[in-house]
Structure 1
């Protein structure tokens, strides 16, 4: 089955876009990624145009659009969601929201071959967005719920495992509990979510029939006091 799926992300200081193409059993992914603090609105659509142009694909050929649904930067999530919704509305195609924490886990697995991964994003105000994952053969399984909490309150779902940590939340490494320090042999705090991994995850969800209407797909903030609600 052929597939053209566009993914975009602006959930962090980075901005990215990716186009996954499938022709039978052959899959490729073209991607753009830039560190663009406070320039997401200006850079996101040019990245989308770049990957489509390089692939020789027109917007009308897209079967689905995906976006980093969060958690992450409130402003960035709104930019990505609004852009993705506009594209999906105009193209009348499904929209798929992808967890930024799961995308980080897949990136850690693909790049560094980590199997047990904690992904954490700096949530400001002394808190992190975090979750634990098991990664094997390109498949990601959640071992905990996604949560926002102070690093000191984060606990691992199991201690008898060599954990790796990935994401900007680990800039707060000294604030994690002692048992996390003991169980986590390495952590990388300079890894940002990318649309490339979101495209692979969205293709999985598309195949499972999990695409939504553009109206229904919304950002996920985790903090209860911040929400971007659909108009009444």
Structure 2
């Protein structure tokens, strides 16, 4: 199988290519440079694998949640490429991809992204017997102090939300923190890993049905809200 995956929902811009049993990827922490980087990354991977775009079987994309601009960019690129190639799209939760950054060991996983404006995007998972993920709750956006988690014997916490709100989140986790990484972001290689499973399960979509997930409609604080936060 040949599958190209795109993930630009956070500060990290990444692209991955599944070519048979091989996965190759490019990733760079590059806020506000995703639009200039993502297509050259894709072309570089295809050239390395000796493939043309028409050899692709599907396009996979991180559907969010995350930064509005980044999520829109990834979805638009995936739709455009898929339409041009007459290929399906596989959408994957960016939080689920982030969860695969956690160690492959016992314990639940909290994937948490700094959503700005005093909020986090969050979801909880556990690994299944086949290396995939099982969702333990729904994706949501909320203030970190309002986060409610299912019961677990221990937690692996991954994502920029931990880097920003570790103290607050620790109060919400009523179990030992087995590992924590606040310096990781959703990556296209994990989008690809999950997308291959979804593709073989028959969950690929027509390009026009590949939709972003934002979880909230408000993009930024108003001037009054920003001034109030400084008082």
TM-score by length of 2: 0.89
Which residue among 188, 191, 196 is the counterpart of 1:198?
Answer: 191
RMSD: 1.6
Aligned residues: 217
Q: Given the alignment, which residue of 65, 74, 98 partners 1:104? A: 98
The superposition leaves residues 118-167 of structure 1 with CA deviations (integer Å, 9 ceiling, x where unpaired) of 000011111100011001441110001001111111122104x1111000
User: For residue 169 of structure 2, what is the aligned residue in structure 1?
Assistant: 176
CA distance in 2, matches of 1:103, 1:189: 15
Structure 1 position 89 matched with structure 2 position 83 = yes
Q: Which residue of 2 aligns with 1:186?
A: 179
* Residue of structure 1 equivalent to 2:158: 166
Offset from partner CA, 1:28-80 (integer Å, 9 cap, x none): 10110111111000000000001100001110010000111000010001111
- SS of the residue 1:176 aligns to: helix
What is the alpha-carbon distance in structure 1 between the residues aligned to residue 172 and residue 114 of structure 2?
A: 20
Say whether the 8 Å CA contact 1:109–1:115 is kept in structure 2.
no
2:12 matches 1:19:
no
Contact persistence 1:6–1:62 (CA under 8 A): yes
Which TM-score applies when normalising by structure 1?
Answer: 0.89
Distance 1:207 1:109, change over 3 A: farther
Residues 205 and 54 from structure 1, CA distance in 2 versus in 1: closer, same or farther, beyond 3 angstroms? same
Listed one character per residue, the Cα deviations across residues 157-183 of structure 1 (whole Å, up to 9, x for unaligned) are: 104x11110000112112226241653
Quote the residue 2:227 is aligned against.
none
1:84-111 deviations in Å (ceiling 9; x for gaps): 111000000001111011001122245x
Structure 2: stretches of 5+ with no match in the other structure: 220-231
Q: Distance in 2 between matches of 1:14 and 1:179?
A: 27
Displacement of 1:114 after TM fit?
A: 5.9
Alpha-carbon distance in structure 1 between the residues aligned to 2:10 and 2:106: 22
Give the equivalent residue in structure 2 for 1:131.
Answer: 123
Inter-partner Cα distance in structure 1 for 2:48 and 2:108: 35
The 1:129–1:114 alpha-carbon spacing in structure 2 relative to 1, beyond 3 Å, is: farther
